[in-house]
Structure 1
Amino acid sequence: MSEIVISGYYGFGNAGDEAMLAAMIEVLTELASDIKITVISGNPEDTCRRHGVAAVYRLNFPEIIKVLSRSQLLISGGGSLLQDVTSERSLYYYLSIMILAKKLGTPVMLYAQGIGPVRGTLARSAMRYIGNMVDLITVRDEGSLAELKRLNVVKPPIHVTADPVLAMHQVDKQIGRRILRNAGVEGNVPLIGISVREWKDWKHYKDVLVEAANQLAEEFGARIVFLPMQWPEDCAVSKRMAIRTKSKAIVLTEEYTTSELLSLVGNFDMLIGIRLHALIFAAVMHVPMVGISYDPKIDRFLESLGECLAGDLQNLDAQSLVEKVRQLWPTSKAAKQSKVEQSTYLRDKAFQNAELALELISQRKWGKANHEKNNMA
């Protein structure tokens, strides 16, 4: 039996990060059923309950040392852990876990990371130094590969794969239908999901989304449903926007599991998303999507699907957003098939992350066994 430690932004109520963890666990255990996984978490009790794995608190370094010292691999990922735009401290925290593992002789893999932007001089030096110490890197897009090259991280093997969540299986839509019914969504009407987040107290993009939601509700006879991905933070901004819509928009205010969120998205006829993993859920469930960028990771993901942005938070306008929705609704059968094929391709790439992780463990075990055999000889 192999033991793996996973480090990331887990236990903080972010649906995207929890989905990445669920996807990693799902694929790793599918490939190696006897594997033991321990997660470094901000809320170990919640992580154990939600994912059915062992967990240790992210600042309990004696316990982290204990689990790392007996493990065959540290996985750092996925998501945008290695950047200094939203927080400088978090970058150094994740790098410190990596260097701790290396000091203990535990191999380190960056797993489907979205790298950068890394702007600070000290941060770039730390990334270059520690990045070149790790054993294997997979990144979720070409932009992340380019960022590694700019940082001069060149020593480990590097593979461009895809976000871990894209490896997840589709789920039954009935779960989402039940949640929607309980929230007051009745009848056979088109549903447009909107995933919004607060950003720097900016107002313009919220005004645009409300204006577009009103127009789309009238033009398509659609019901607007706000879907929070960061709970409870996204609920507040969603509620403030929903009360400004002319139609009776619904805000889903509960904290949902990854399976429930996937099922909810599967019931939408269209998803308009600022949150990356709302868009990824749409890709998994083959739902047409329109992305709005606040970070390069949104642009990179949509580019991997052959999709275009409706705009970014600063230059978004209602008519361009509505026109983008019109172009995708209804989608022709040929276009739908093309998107399904692209999603399937990315699913295979996402699956490769776990295959490479387990291959790294096997190589290390084989190398260690050979070394011990030669010493005995």
Structure 2
Amino acid sequence: MRLVAPFGFYGSGNIGDEATLLGFGRLIERFGGGIGVDVASSDPAHTKRVEPGFRYYQYIDGIMGLPAKLHAHMGAGYIIPGGTPIMDNLGDWPLLSLGGMLQHAGNWGKPAAFVGVGVEQLRHDISRQRVQEQIIPNVMCWSVRSVHDQDRLLDLGVAPDLITIAADMAWLLDPAEPAYGRKVTQRLGLGGRPVIGVNINAEDHMMEKAPRLFTELAAALDDLVNRHGARVLFLFNEVREGDTYDQAAADLVRSLMSRKDAVLMGPSDYLTPQEMMSIIAQCAMTISTRYHFCVFSALQGVPFLGIRRSDKVSDLCRDLGWKAALDPDAAARADISAMGDQLLGDPSAELKKLSEKIAAMRVRAEDNRIALDALLGAMRGVGMQTWMRHAAGRVGQKLGGGVR
């Protein structure tokens, strides 16, 4: 059987996305060697380097290009693995693209499932309409990262028995070895003093809500440098260029700091998840607005301060029982630096609790198999006869006669 993952957000520059790709690979391994997976990718060469177990093809937004159509028709089912596909804080993307893909699945009799995904609270009526009219009717089952994602799906009208509460598939990754991170930090001259790893972005909706966030963060980082002799290492979990992405956000915060002498910029290369995790392992603490950077920190046993810019970061901190978290519009200098003092002090008790939570998240991540198993079961009834029947029906519709 061949399974198709047609939504090609992998390879777009976000290292966290590839963490879910790796986790998806681990999940597929649990089913033995009888499943082939075709994955749409914005950078097939990079995703092949990250997870060589899949067959990749070039993604162009939507499913209308000939290569994408060929892969789609060759597959017996569609899967949307990982990420946060149900959201609208970036505009029409990704729901506009996903709606077309899932309608394509329905038109051709292909079962489809979302596995290990996040769901954000939708802001616009048109987004709810797309999900309710184009996506939900064409999806047979879902597994989600948290109970809060389930609640948002229920609010959109998904039947409760179609949803499994699991966890992000990145929790299936093992901690990274330290060698790569040591090489990077040695090259940067980091040694002998605590390192604060910082990964932030500057999405418009967050900056509108919290216009002083970067000013407060810069002042707090100055405090931590002065009190702990720390160095600040900006890291980039998203490597695309633009005002809202990580490099631009780091440059802005650095420009607002007094202790620029204590600031270094990490690699701007498109790293693998293991490479980023290895660098994080060299940090005494991290600060991030990004979901998977916080997950990476937890997996490496590094205490983190989560800036809750989105539902998914809030959900993560609640699932982990992690108290070192602030809303962007409430992240004042004093609060950031006070939490930094705690994390740079003796976080051993909190890290012990965190390790127990991580073990539970790993178990939950395995529950993504429930949705995947249901999808694979439905795919066994899809073959050439299914394709011919739907093809004949579509020809009949175009000719205006209808075909039984």
**TM-score (norm: length of structure 2):** 0.83
Report if the CA contact (8 A) 2:115-2:142 is conserved: yes
**Deviation of 1:127 (Å):** 1.1
Q: Which of 153, 160, 172 is 2:158 aligned to?
A: 153
Distance 2:358 2:262 in 1: 33
Pairing 1:269–2:284 present: yes
Per the alignment, residue 26 of structure 2 pairs with: 26
Q: How does 1:234-253 map to 2 (within 5 A)?
A: 234-243=246-255, 244-246=257-259, 247-253=261-267
* Number of residue pairs aligned between Structure 1 and Structure 2: 369
Report if the CA contact (8 A) 2:8-2:59 is conserved: no
Q: CA RMSD in A?
A: 2.5
Give aligned-pair identity as a percent: 23
**TM-score (norm: length of structure 1):** 0.89
**Deviation of 1:45 (Å):** 4.1
Read off the aligned partner of 1:336 and give its amino acid letter: L
Q: How does 1:169-184 map to 2 (within 5 A)?
A: 169-184=174-189
Report if the CA contact (8 A) 1:41-1:55 is conserved: yes
Per the alignment, residue 398 of structure 2 pairs with: none
Q: How does 1:222-371 map to 2 (within 5 A)?
A: 222-233=230-241, 234-243=246-255, 244-246=257-259, 247-255=261-269, 256-308=271-323, 310-331=325-346, 333-353=348-368, 355-364=369-378
**Deviation of 1:123 (Å):** 2.2
Distance 1:258 1:264 in 2: 10
Distance 1:325 1:61 in 2: 49
Distance 1:269 1:19 in 2: 22
Per the alignment, residue 373 of structure 1 pairs with: none
Report if the CA contact (8 A) 2:81-2:116 is conserved: yes
SS at match of 1:32: coil
Superposed CA deviations along residues 128-149 of structure 1, whole A, max 9, x for unmatched, are 2321431110111222111111
Per the alignment, residue 73 of structure 1 pairs with: 77
SS at match of 1:159: strand
Distance 1:335 1:155 in 2: 34
Read off the aligned partner of 2:250 and give its amino acid letter: S
Superposed CA deviations along residues 219-257 of structure 1, whole A, max 9, x for unmatched, are 222221111111143123213323534142111132221
Superposed CA deviations along residues 105-146 of structure 1, whole A, max 9, x for unmatched, are 222111122112223223212212321431110111222111
**Deviation of 1:30 (Å):** 5.0
SS at match of 1:79: coil
In the TM superposition, structure 1's runs of 4+ consecutive aligned residues that sit over 4 Å from their partners are 365-369
Q: Which of 142, 146, 160 is 2:147 aligned to?
A: 142
In structure 2, the gaps of 5 or more residues are 384-404
**Deviation of 1:172 (Å):** 0.1
Per the alignment, residue 207 of structure 1 pairs with: 215
Higher RCO (C-alpha under 8 Å, 6+ residues apart): 2
Report if the CA contact (8 A) 1:72-1:361 is conserved: no
Report if the CA contact (8 A) 1:163-1:350 is conserved: yes
Distance 1:138 1:125 in 2: 21
Read off the aligned partner of 1:108 and give its amino acid letter: A
Per the alignment, residue 375 of structure 1 pairs with: none
Report if the CA contact (8 A) 2:317-2:325 is conserved: no
**Deviation of 1:216 (Å):** 1.0
